[in-house]
């Protein structure tokens, strides 16, 4: 399997290490990544995000949000992935064009794991309100835990255990979007 990694900061590099441990072929792109650095990481250097995504089975996104990265993962880049590919956004909402992602999920069977959303719920929101995301099977969301405290980590771990227990018991999964 081929994994495309966009963004090779600390988290992107850790993802590369783990993918290589599973003997995946890894292609990497980052604004500052050189061919030599990619080689040292064990990844194939790609000069553009499109080159990294071309024919990939999975895409992992780890980029800061800015003018050059807003909607970087859009319809054109998503079309480069294999049908049924997995897209994981662990960066910022807005880096992945969610409308284009929804189209790719519906038309090409792309699956997505989103840790962040363009329309993030507020701190006091008790429910996720993005109906377009919620109504599409094939998109899975998690709580963004970028600034993790011990209490936040424990709360996320408890939520994961509760979801797995509900699934194994045949009950409705708490927090399920669709």
| Average predicted confidence (pLDDT) for the chain | 86
For residues 50 and 80, the answer to whether their CB atoms sit within 8 Å is yes
Q: Quick check: is 82 catalytic? A: no
Q: How many other β-carbons are positioned within 10 Å of the β-carbon of residue 1? A: 14
Rounded to 5 degrees, φ, ψ at 87 are -115, 125
pTM for this prediction: 0.77
For residues 52 and 27, the answer to whether their CB atoms sit within 8 Å is yes
Residue that has been written with the tokens 């509760």 in this structure:
162
Q: Quick check: is 148 catalytic? A: no
Question: Given 13, 27, 62, 92, which residue is catalytic?
Answer: 92
User: 98-128, pLDDT tens digit by residue?
Assistant: 899 999 999 999 998 887 767 666 666 666 6
3-class secondary structure, 80: helix
User: 130-143, pLDDT tens digit by residue?
Assistant: 566 667 777 776 66
Walk along the chain (178 residues) and give the pLDDT tens digit of each residue. 999 999 999 999 999 999 999 999 999 999 999 999 999 999 999 999 999 999 999 999 999 888 998 989 999 999 999 999 999 988 888 889 989 999 999 999 999 888 776 766 666 666 666 566 667 777 776 666 555 667 767 877 888 898 889 889 999 887 665 5
Q: Quick check: is 120 catalytic? A: yes
């Amino acid at each position: 399997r081929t994994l495309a990694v966009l963004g090779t900061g600390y988290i992107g590099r850790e993802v590369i290490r783990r993918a290589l441990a599973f003997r995946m072929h890894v292609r990497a792109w980052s604004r500052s990544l050189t061919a030599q650095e990619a080689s040292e990481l064990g990844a194939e250097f790609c000069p553009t995000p499109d080159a990294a995504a071309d024919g990939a089975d999975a895409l992992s996104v780890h980029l800061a949000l800015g003018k050059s990265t807003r909607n970087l993962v859009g319809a054109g880049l998503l079309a480069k992935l294999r049908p049924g590919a997995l897209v994981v956004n662990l960066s910022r909402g807005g880096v992945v064009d969610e409308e284009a992602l929804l189209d790719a999920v519906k038309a090409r069977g792309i699956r997505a794991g989103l840790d962040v959303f363009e329309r993030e719920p507020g701190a006091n929101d008790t429910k996720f309100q993005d109906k377009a995301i919620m109504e599409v099977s094939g998109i899975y969301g998690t709580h963004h835990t970028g600034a993790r405290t011990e209490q936040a980590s424990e709360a996320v771990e408890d939520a994961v255990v509760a979801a797995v227990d509900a699934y194994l018991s045949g009950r409705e999964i708490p927090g399920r979007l669709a």
